[in-house]
Amino acid sequence: MIWVILGLVAMGIGSGPLLAKVESTWLRRLVSWLLLGVAVFVADRVMGEVDALLRMIGICCVLLACMKGLVYAEWAGAQRLKVGPYLVFSCCWFGMDPGSFRVKRAGLSWKGDVFQGLGLMAVGTLGAWLVWWMGWRQILVMFLPMSLGFHFGALRVLKGGLRAAGYPVRTLFPNLLMAQGFGDFWSRRWNVGYSQMMQRLMGRPVGNLFGESAGVMAVFVGSGILHELAITLPVRAGFGWPTLFFTVHGLLTVLERRLGRPLGKVPALLAVAVPLGVLFPPAFQSEVIARCLGVFGG
């Protein structure tokens, strides 16, 4: 089974440079998305009897690898990456901007990212241990320390390491408290690399055909479907909830654009935090998130 998953990961990563050579845009996109769907389907089938947590990890690895190949094929033109930088982009970074790996730069700042990231990892780990020890199982309480340690800590350390190596990667999770509204939160504060990818793969193509609002909704509905693959598919429950979560946020983002102003920091943060149980259905909370906390109990 593990060899099948590794093979699918290698296929997803290897597809990027090959699909980049396809001149027809629509054919390249069609093959890329079909490849992603088939790879996730096969991963789910071969891990059908595996524990939900391990199934989630396997599916997410395959999904991430295929998305790396897909976004590279969309980005590449005359500006191809060499094999080494492409493998670093594909295997060592969670961002989705291949351009950051095209040319190495000297003198990039990195120590601050490493120290800050290590500090946030320590705080997040301590917080997760406290949540486990106290037996708290409310989704927001479980998610916050884990997100603090990984999204804001570990990924900041990884950023620092890559910048020390000369790759000008950017922070994937900038300060959420600076968010001005829904559009600002999802495009500039939460997983910037992912939002760039969805804009490149869905927002611009759909927007060019059907208008700006349709492009925005395509990004959010597409995000919901991809999160279904990573969240509800591994636990076989809660189907449709992540898509509903992102669709509502897409509508609120479109509303902001129609009004010509952001709806504000507090409404945006509350709209993410309060219905977090919709994004992470109960089965995922108990079979994946709570299981991750269980590492403190051996």
Note the pLDDT of residue 3. Answer: 94
Helix H, strand E, coil C: the string for the chain is: CHHHHHHHHHHHHHHHHHHCCCCCHHHHHHHHHHHHHHHHHHHHHHCCCCCHHHHHHHHHHHHHHHHHHHHHHHHCCCCCCCHHHHHHHHHCCCCCCHHHHCCCCCCCCCHHHHHHHHHHHHHHHHHHHHHHHHCCCCHHHHHHHHHHHHHHHHHHHHHHHHHHCCCCCCCCCCCHHHCCCHHHHHHHHCCHHHHHHHHHHHHHHHHHHHCHHHHHHHHHHHHHHHHHHHHHHHHCCCCCHHHHHHHHHHHHHHHHHHHCCCCCHHHHHHHHHCCHHHHCCHHHHHHHHHHHHHHHHC
Residue 298 has pLDDT above 80, yes or no: no
Note the pLDDT of residue 175. Answer: 85
pTM of the model: 0.93
79 vs 170 pLDDT, higher one: 170
Q: Average model confidence (pLDDT) for the chain? A: 95
Note the pLDDT of residue 176. Answer: 87
Which tens digit of pLDDT belongs to each residue from 94-122? Answer: 999 999 999 999 999 999 999 999 999 99
Which tens digit of pLDDT belongs to each residue from 127-173? Answer: 999 999 999 999 999 999 999 999 999 999 999 999 999 999 999 99
Residue range 166-193: average pLDDT? 93
Question: Would you kindly state where each structural domain of the chain is located, as residue ranges?
Answer: 1-104, 111-164
Note the pLDDT of residue 88. Answer: 97
Note the pLDDT of residue 100. Answer: 95
Note the pLDDT of residue 296. Answer: 87
Residue range 187-194: average pLDDT? 92
Residue 77 has pLDDT above 80, yes or no: no
Residue range 189-204: average pLDDT? 91
Which tens digit of pLDDT belongs to each residue from 244-284? Answer: 999 999 999 999 999 989 999 999 999 999 999 999 999 99
Of the pLDDT bands very low, low, confident and very high (cuts 50, 70, 90), residue 79 is: confident
